Copies of this chain bind each other. A is one copy, B any other.
Amino acid sequence: MIETERKFLVTSEDFKKQATEQKVFRQAYLNTDPQRTVRVRLTGDTGYLTIKGKSSNSGMSRYEWEKAIPAAEAEELLKICEPGMIEKTRFLVPVAGHTFEVDEFFGAHTGLIIAEIELKTEDEDFERPQWLGKEVTGDLRYYNSQLIKKPIKNQQDE
């Protein structure tokens, strides 16, 4: 199905006060080509295999296919992924009827915090909380599949 999302840098940790849920994600890629990324993700006792096509011209919309898989299978698949692992905590932050997914990265990407909001259409409006910074929708450097190859810090970009 086609997913429509916008992506922003996050300028403070204030979002944590509004978060209703948080989970640690470990993920790596079986393909990092932006035309057809294949991601293996492990969170708690569930794995996910996610395949995404290339982004629309706006960078907001992208074909996405996802299946939950047993954690043990995700562990096996992580072993054959391209080098590089992303580890991050994902916070769910409800804001005025939408839910931001805010990712705080660890390791090589420490300092980077990215918020994503899923929309029904590319022109759907939404409320912007104070901690929401510069929009980076469609900026390849902030694709997790590209971060694996080239770390980037929030600060460097401000």
Q: With an 8 A cutoff between CB atoms, is A106 at the interface?
A: no
Copies in the complex: 2
Contact status of A80 and B30, CB under 8 A, knowing A69-B67, A73-B65: no
Classify chain A: how many residues form its interface, as a range. Answer: 20 to 34
- Enumerate chain A interface residues (CB-CB to B < 8 A): 30-31, 33, 35-36, 38, 49, 51, 53-54, 63, 65, 67, 69, 73, 76-77, 79-82
Given A30-B38, A38-B38, A65-B77, 15 more A-B residue pairs with CB atoms under 8 Å apart are A30-B30, A30-B51, A31-B31, A31-B33, A31-B36, A35-B80, A36-B81, A36-B82, A49-B49, A51-B77, A53-B79, A53-B80, A63-B76, A65-B73, A67-B69
